[in-house]
Chain A
Amino acid sequence: MEKEPILKLRGICKYFPGVRALQDVDFTLRRGEIHALMGENGAGKSTLIKVLTGVYVKDAGEVHIEGHEGSVNIHSPQDAQNLGISTVYQEISLCPNLTVAENMFIGREKSPITNWAKMNKRAGEMLSALDIPASPTMQLGSCSIAIQQMVAIARAVDMECKVLILDEPTSSLDEQEVEKLFKLMRDLREKGVGIIFVTHFLDQVYEVCDRITVLRDGGLVGEYVIEDLPRVELVSKMLGKELDDMAEIKSSESDEEAEAKGDIILEAKGLSSSEGIKPFDFHIRAGEVNGFTGLLGSGRSECVRAIFGADRVTSGTVSVNGKQVKIKKPIDAMKAGIGYLPEDRKRDGIVSELSVRENIILALQVMKGFFKPFSRAKAEAFADEYIKLLEIKTASSDTPIGQLSGGNQQKVILARWLLTNPSYLILDEPTRGIDIGTKIEIQKMALQLAKEGKSVTFISSEIDEMLRTCSRLIVMRDRKVVGELTGSDLTQGKIMSTIAGGDNK
Chain B
Amino acid sequence: MKYRLNSLIHKQIFIPIAALLVLTLFNLIMDPSFFAITLGTNNVGKAVLTGNLITILDNASELVILAIGMTLVTSASGGQDISVGAGIAIAGSVMLRILCGPEGTADVVKAPVIVAFLACCVVSMLFGAFNGILVAYFKIQPMVATLILFTAGRSIAAWINENRLPVINDPTFAYYGNYIPGVVLPTPVFIAIICVAAIFLILKFTNMGLYSQAVGINPHSSRLNGIDPAVIKLITYVLLGLCVAVAGFIKVSRISSINYSVVAKDIEMDAILAVALGGNPLGGGKFNMAASILGAYVIQFLTTTLFKYNVDSTALPAYKAVVVIILVVLSAPVVREKINRSVKTLKSKKAVKEA
Asked if B218 contacts A350 (CB within 8 A), the reply is yes
Asked if B205 contacts A363 (CB within 8 A), the reply is no
B112 at the interface (CB under 8 A from A): no
Report the Cα distance A348→B217, complex, angstroms. Answer: 11
A-B pairs under 8 A by CB, number: 74
B121 at the interface (CB under 8 A from A): no
B74 at the interface (CB under 8 A from A): no
Asked if A351 contacts B217 (CB within 8 A), the reply is yes
Report the Cα distance A340→B213, complex, angstroms. Answer: 21
> Which chain B residues numbered 196 to 227 have a C-beta less than 8 Å away from chain A?
204-208, 210-211, 213-214, 217-218, 220-227
Asked if B217 contacts A362 (CB within 8 A), the reply is no
Report the Cα distance A366→B226, complex, angstroms. Answer: 6
- With A329-B228, A362-B214 already in contact, the answer to whether A351 and B207 are too (CB < 8 A) is no
The answer, among B204, B207, B218, B224, for a CB contact under 8 Å with A365, is B207
Chain B hits for A308, CB < 8 A: 224
CB distance from B58 to the nearest CB of A (A): 34
Asked if A366 contacts B217 (CB within 8 A), the reply is no
B286 at the interface (CB under 8 A from A): yes
Asked if A370 contacts B226 (CB within 8 A), the reply is no
Report the Cα distance A114→B213, complex, angstroms. Answer: 49
Report the Cα distance A326→B334, complex, angstroms. Answer: 49
Report the Cα distance A308→B223, complex, angstroms. Answer: 11
> Which chain B residues numbered 268 to 301 have a C-beta less than 8 Å away from chain A?
285-286
Chain B hits for A373, CB < 8 A: 204-207, 210
Asked if A358 contacts B210 (CB within 8 A), the reply is yes
CB distance from B196 to the nearest CB of A (A): 19
Asked if A362 contacts B213 (CB within 8 A), the reply is no
CB distance from B283 to the nearest CB of A (A): 11
- With A358-B210, A370-B207, A371-B206 already in contact, the answer to whether A351 and B226 are too (CB < 8 A) is no
Chain B hits for A367, CB < 8 A: 226
- With A371-B206, A373-B210 already in contact, the answer to whether A354 and B217 are too (CB < 8 A) is yes
CB distance from A351 to the nearest CB of B (A): 5
One digit per residue, 1 when the CB lies within 8 angstroms of any chain B CB and 0 when it does not, for chain A 318-355 equals 00000000000111001000001010000111111110
A161 at the interface (CB under 8 A from B): no
Asked if B214 contacts A351 (CB within 8 A), the reply is yes
Chain B hits for A353, CB < 8 A: 213, 217, 285-286
Chain A hits for B227, CB < 8 A: 331, 366
One digit per residue, 1 when the CB lies within 8 angstroms of any chain A CB and 0 when it does not, for chain B 215-249 equals 00110111111111000000000000000000000
Asked if A365 contacts B217 (CB within 8 A), the reply is no
Residues of chain B having any CB pair with chain A under 8 Å: 204-208, 210-211, 213-214, 217-218, 220-228, 285-286
| 18 A–B contacts from the bound complex (CB under 8 Å) | A330-B226, A331-B228, A334-B226, A348-B221, A348-B224, A351-B213, A352-B217, A352-B218, A358-B210, A358-B214, A363-B225, A365-B210, A366-B225, A366-B226, A369-B207, A373-B204, A373-B206, A373-B207
